[in-house]
Structure 1
Amino acid sequence: MQQLNNLSARIAVYQESIKAAVDRVIASGWLVLGPEVKRFEQQFAAYLGARHCVGVANGTEAIELALKALGIDSGDRVATVANAGAYTTTALLAIGAEPHYIDVDIDTHVTTLADVRVAIEAGVKAVVVTHLYGLAIPEIAEIAALCAARNVPLIEDCAQAHGAAVGGKRVGSFGDISSFSFYPTKNLGALGDGGAVVTNKDELADKVLALRQYGWASKYTVKVAGGRNSRLDEMQAAILSEFLPGLDEANGRRREIAAYYSSQIKHAGIALPKEGAFNYVAHLYVVRTAHRDALREHLRTLNIASDVHYPIPDYRQPVFGERFSGVQLANTDRLAQEILTLPCYPEMTDAEVSGVVAAVNGWRA
């Protein structure tokens, strides 16, 4: 069976360094918010070209704490896309904020400057943009400039785009604050949950540092409202420090696989991603077809895994009932019906990649 992602293969590559990292933490006796977390925070901030990185428990809480650090509160409307798995929506609901859904480009699957401008004109309190599938939003610099000019805070959701860049600048350093996930399948993934908030602003970093640990100003002294227990543990931080030096090489392999797919998949019924050479780190390789379910079944019969990222726009989730029944985003709705993710991970062999291409090209729509 050709898997969508093979974590065992990655663990095998790093087996010795993982063991050394775990042994180092166990020997230290320091398991939470110790030297390994500080070390990784410094390394990841330097990698991104940012001033601050604050490790937290997971990527969704990273978005939540970033929102809180910006002062987003109950009832505030925040712009967000609806095609990225409802993680930002989950964070907004956790603090009582109101999602203001914006559409995405049909080819890139990410939001545009024009859509953000319309949201700002509608009076949103903040904007969250998602660098989806590993593609850095092509207009992120212009979006950041617009938000700054209009005094509307910008949060970058970088959970799927570790290392992606636009104009030589890595995502996570354009907006006021950004969030990352280190879920195991991410380009930079831990061996469990983990996340981070990144910012160039000292005051926002200080707020997140307090918010991730009960709102403490000092031990047992609660000063910042809205705090929670959201801490990156020492073992995951130590493992991430081992994986980080290999991130660019792994991203390069992902791009090689994606480029091969894009050059070799030749099927009139399938639309391929529109990615750039450097702003795409191929977290997922997502194609489009009007007959998505038929293609997925065809691949299944050939023992090739696929998935849909993501099948239900946020505003159509059952939890909302009729709450967003008036929302109509043409591109988001269409993409949810047509997208399909093919296997793409650094440890894939050339033979496996070629096998996926042959299977897709052999489909009779």
Structure 2
Amino acid sequence: MPSALADRVSRLARADHSATRLRELVLAEIRQSMPFAGHVFALTDPVTAVATAPLADIPGLDMSRLPELIRARYLTPLNRWDTLRGTGAHSLLDATEGEPDRSLLWRTVQRKLGITDSATITFADRYGCWGFLELFRIDESPFTRRELTGLTALTAIVTTALRRTIGATFVESDAQLPPPGPAVVLLDDTLRVRPHPAAAAESLLRLLPPDEPIPPVPVSVCNAGAALLAAEAGTPIGAATARIHLGGNRWITVKADRIGDHDIAVALEPSTATERLDLFARANGLSARESQVLFLLATGLDSRALAAELVLSEQTVNDHVKAILAKSATRTRRRLLSRVLGVA
């Protein structure tokens, strides 16, 4: 089973799929090998590991309780995706030695949903953390060691494929899509949204990308807020910020900060050039030197100026540029900068 599953996933991972379609196909292949009643398959910001675009099916969950579930997940470091990097798939029952009530998440939310076991796997490499998968069981037997081994065999395959889908979102600028405008959302400590004025609501609507099964902006607001709560509780996952793809070549950054004693302010703004450059470099697997060259290219330097800045020969600089173009499947420097910066 492990090698057969990995072989099937490897074949589909080599095709050009969106991040959503890739995850749907991976889930379908896994279901052929092992049963599960529900799932959460999320993308994450590669630097902070804060979840962004979820693909989820949690049987019995009242969506009004979603903020409660997200909050509990971040406050439960046991089997949390950031703590499992490089360790393969782990089950809830194994991690708790058969006592799932040791998990805050299970105790406060999952038990009421009838979940009896879960398996979690993190998709990360040296460039960052790109996503995680949680599978849930309700009536089925607990996850076996053989099943967890099969899931672990998918780690490198799916990680590379997810990273590639993020790189593919950096298309040449599409003038038909409206630029994302800034917005601020206020949350209380339960991650419930405070009432906001009409202008703020209108700004949020403009940030909703089309054709997503679960709108990633509201969910990402909760995830950023939950990351802040986790840091305050002494179980940090990373900085309370994440970059979210909005369709086309649009990216926004969400960032949560505490204001006063009770409210959390989550700001949503277009991702800066630096934030986009970093994400593009990671998604395309650029080396440290290639990333440095890319950042300087974005400031408008030509090869001669780059060579002087980096104390390299022009030929070496040009070799680095060629490597960047090859890794990102881009034909010219002009197109490269259009993709990276999101401008025509």
Is the shorter-chain TM-score for this pair beyond 0.5, marking a shared fold? no
Which structure features the higher share of strand residues?
A: 2
Indicate the TM-score class for this superposition, using the shorter chain for normalisation: under 0.3
TM (norm. structure 2) is 0.27
TM (norm. structure 1) is 0.26
Which structure features the higher share of helix residues?
A: 2
